Amino acid sequence: MITTKRFVRKFSTAMQVIYDTLPMTGTIGTITLLSSLRVIRPNQKGLVEMFGKYTRTAEPGLRAIWPFGIGRLERIPMDMHKVEIPEQSIITKEQLNATVDAVAYYRVKDPYKARYHVDDYANTVPTLTQTTLRNVLGTFTLSEANSQRQNINAQLRRELEGQISDWGMEVISVELQQIIPSRRVQESMNNIIIAEQEKIAAENRAHAVEIDADGKKRAEVKKAEGSAQAVTLNAQAQAEAIRLNAQAQADAMRLKYDTANECFVGDAKDLERLQTTVESLRNNTVVLMDKGQQTWNLLNLKN
């Protein structure tokens, strides 16, 4: 790249040559020499033709060509170009209508190919971008087009790059801007969103009712379990009370028996008679004892 200082120095040198040769060439020669000079800016390259045929590519700086229409210089910008793709209608994968727009950035890599391999590349690239945009978006649903913009941008860039690389150009990026569905599609989408929201609300209400019913069911189960446990505990308590009462009676009888045993030690017959007397009293029987014979007479008092 030629800097401004170098350009001024070269231009001064060229003017000095012209000044030095002015006396020899005369006015016509000077005019001819000046008319052959061309300036190519740092962001440009020049395509030089002679008699309509390409001869060379000129770099930035002060360049001379053949005068009087023999030579021709065409400057090709080498910096980045921004192309705004106007709004256009597309049809998505599910056959829905939408309006989209985009922005493409590209630059010329080979000025020879850009000039001679395509007719008017500056207008061809936007047209090709529009066509590619329609084709790519036709493979996506409307929902996918809104959620996968980075993937769409990358695919647009790859497809454009493959088509214009032979033209000596490079696609820097393609950015999808807006995707606006048609009014009918928007209304349908709004209805779907409302229905989905109502469905979610109904599911939430049903879930709340289910939770409430489950809570009540668990409470009833706990209550029933508590009642059953209370009955079980009460029955166990009563059984324990009966057992303890029987145990107490048995202990009392054992104590009485032991006491009687101690009182009638060595006289088993008296103990036996006493036990018989106790048993007869339980059966409503009167016992009469004969003092002389030491015997017991029993009188049954049962009706």
* Average pLDDT over the chain, rounded to an integer: 76
The amino acid occupying position 58 is: A
Positive or negative: CA dihedral 45, 43, 107, 99:
negative
pLDDT for position 145: 87
pLDDT for position 215: 74
Q: Is the pLDDT of residue 295 over 70?
A: no
Nearest-angstrom CA–CA distance, 261 and 73: 150
Q: Shortest CA distance to 116 belongs to which of 23, 209, 20, 47? A: 47
pLDDT for position 301: 43
Separation of first and last alpha carbons in the chain? 148
More confident residue, 96 or 69: 96
pTM over 0.85: no
Give the whole-number percent of the chain exceeding pLDDT 70: 67
Q: Is the pLDDT of residue 198 over 70?
A: yes
pLDDT in tens, 218-251: 777 777 777 777 777 777 777 777 877 777 776 6
Domain ranges of the chain: 1-76, 79-181
Query: Which residue, chain included where needed, has tokens 């053949």?
Result: 66
- CA dist 158 → 106, 116, 192 (Å): 12, 23, 35
CATH of domain 79-181: 3.30.479.30
pLDDT band at residue 276, thresholds of 50, 70 and 90?
low
